[in-house]
Amino acid sequence: MVSRDSAKASPEQLLYADLLFYGCWASIFIMIITYVIYVAGLANPHIPLDQLPHLWRLPVGDFLAQSGAPHGWGWALLLGKGDYLNFLGIALLGAMTIIAFATLIPAYVRQKDMAFLVIVIVEMAALLLAASGILGAGAH
């Protein structure tokens, strides 16, 4: 049995872990800052605060129609609005795994480790496909 002290992480594993760690904290920091911007009214919202209680009671189709809220990736066009600005941190948090996986590709190419290279590429493709909304399974 391998003891915990004798287990060594490869440089690739450490880079992956560091990117996830710092990227997730950066995402949370961005969410906090953008929330403060929204609550302080420093950026005008797409949906005025006084309309929210009425709109929240509606079925989703009616909510989208009456509020003009986008669906899918349409939120990215509204990043200048206070109520959609906080999606930036959420999107970064969701993308951190893909970003961290991407950093593994050069190392596995250099090492000629085809098994791990294929696993990383397939995993990234699956995550990107899920996030794209192409499958129509309510990914976002």
Other C-beta atoms within 10 Å of 86: how many?
A: 20
Question: Is 128 within a domain?
Answer: yes
- In this prediction the pTM is 0.77
Question: Is 52 within a domain?
Answer: yes
Question: Is 3 within a domain?
Answer: no
pLDDT per residue as tens digits for the range 48-89: 988 989 999 999 999 999 999 988 888 999 999 999 999 999
pLDDT per residue as tens digits for the range 2-15: 555 667 888 888 99
Range of the domain at 86: 10-132
1: pLDDT confidence band, cut at 50, 70 and 90?
A: low
Domains of the chain: total = 1
At 104, list the tokens: 């593994």
pLDDT at 73: 86
